[in-house]
Structure 1
């Protein structure tokens, strides 16, 4: 049997680890896990299970091109949140008196372009490029959404790919994941205790409209596998289920045996509460109604 190679960017992260796990169980596949630090514990754990761990850094030009060499499939993703937490970016934002999210998205777009460049350099031997991205909320909203930067950044990489590398684009499938179920731990998603002992989630969006939700650790791999099994040019909006915030609160209440309700918060109040990231996160929630339309197309 001919063995194919899938190279997975971010093999120790939420999405990448799911793809690695899925393809480890697939006959005829060799998994190449790409990580910045092959010596860390999570990298060694994959190596002990037969994953070919290779060093690759999206901040180092050329390193990903080498890491992709000989692969039949590349799964690529970038991480906005890691840049928000990067001490160098935090320091640069202060020095330039700029919002940190603007610098973070600029860095992510640089990385995403290097990812695309590296895949394009190997296009002749590549069967499929699966790119984890986010929706074009500017386009879907007809420019009503202007500051959803982490979405714009990821979609900017898609436009870069389409414009610069048509041959690679012909071998590309896009994976657009829904809201991570684990985000309930993020402060603005977390149910907050009220004086009467109940809990409440307050966000600037409807509690009745459904949105796509996903467990990235469990679901990304099977979705990437599905894209590899069908023709290139097939794009997937990945959702484990569609759920509203009112329904989400009912589930949370049933599991904790504590009442939780949803409150639609005024956008201005939310922005003031969130600080520097408020405008972007508010735009993200406002964009949800356009993403729901896309899920139904």
Structure 2
């Protein structure tokens, strides 16, 4: 029987789960078990070839998660609102019930978060549960932000954990990933003169916590396991406003980049069907009260007590911009 500690990773074939796996893959004291809906898929086989134990698990089936979590020393949990948003059956359910797809995706993600927590609570000897989460925007905005469902649905798992399992809460840690650096690709558009324009509903001076989840979330999870439980850390590589982001873009690429503020209505027209309103409210939340809200328990990475390797926006753009500009 292995004496190594076991970390079980939800979503190992995704960006965040894969980053966590990479952070632990070559640590001599740890072994990895990855959960996938289809443990025989090509992406699962790729992780198995690297040395991860792959098992089947369904976030909609708590019993499958209990089996997958069995024997875990640590568990990394994550859910995906946008996956639920894209499922055709959920759109059909929204139409049938007279609800928005945002509401249906919210409920589905909340249920999956509850299942992760319930399954983790069944594990004897569990040392740590680490959840990837986001702030409760309805609360911190004092009810002004109502369509940022993908933030609130993730925080619902934290609330459920604290209310239902106070003892396990003492073994939990949380990371709130900042704005994904990769998202600039969806907001930067090439203009007729060859320059690029970045748009969003926030002011140019709004300071945003930029984060590379693929490179860094694993480093954050590893760091959280090196300190006492109960910590909630902000996932940040660089704090930059839009003007500063565009300045970096121009400095690195030599291609002029400018920022233009648009309205939430503009975004809704460009992205109909609920996505534009959802993303628009997220951006307005970033503007006021701020991406992480006003949670006094949230600490910055430099205050965690251990060093965390982080990717800066400049580091990221130096690698990413060449392929973006060729696309």
Equivalences for residues 256-295 of structure 1 within 5 A: 256-275=253-272, 276-289=274-287, 290-291=290-291, 294=294
Q: CA deviation at 1:296?
A: 7.3
Query: What SS does the corresponding residue of 2:13 show, helix, strand or coil?
Result: coil
Distance 1:87 1:267, change over 3 A: closer
C-alpha distance in 1 between matches for 2:240 and 2:67: 42
TM-score using structure 2 length: 0.84
Equivalences for residues 22-101 of structure 1 within 5 A: 22-101=23-102
Aligned to 2:320: none
Q: CA deviation at 1:113?
A: 0.7
Are 1:184 and 2:184 counterparts? yes
Equivalences for residues 1-297 of structure 1 within 5 A: 2-122=3-123, 124-186=124-186, 189=187, 191-275=188-272, 276-289=274-287, 290-291=290-291, 294=294
C-alpha distance in 2 between matches for 1:41 and 1:78: 21
Q: CA RMSD in A?
A: 1.9
Runs (4 or more) in structure 1 with deviation over 4 Å come to 292-297
C-alpha distance in 2 between matches for 1:85 and 1:227: 32
Comparing 11-20 with 86-95, greater Cα deviation is found at 86-95
Q: CA deviation at 1:8?
A: 0.5
C-alpha distance in 2 between matches for 1:79 and 1:223: 19
Query: What SS does the corresponding residue of 2:205 show, helix, strand or coil?
Result: coil
Query: What SS does the corresponding residue of 1:278 show, helix, strand or coil?
Result: helix
The question of whether the paired residues in 1 share the 8 Å contact of 2:141 and 2:293 is answered with no
Q: For residues 204-259 of structure 1, what are the alpha-carbon distances to aligned partners after superposition, in whole Å with 9 as ceiling and x for unaligned?
A: 10212221111111101010000011001011111111111112122223344322
The question of whether the paired residues in 2 share the 8 Å contact of 1:210 and 1:292 is answered with no
TM-score using structure 1 length: 0.92
Number of aligned positions between the proteins = 293
Q: CA deviation at 1:98?
A: 3.0
User: For structure 2, which runs of at least 5 residues remain unmatched after alignment?
Assistant: 301-327
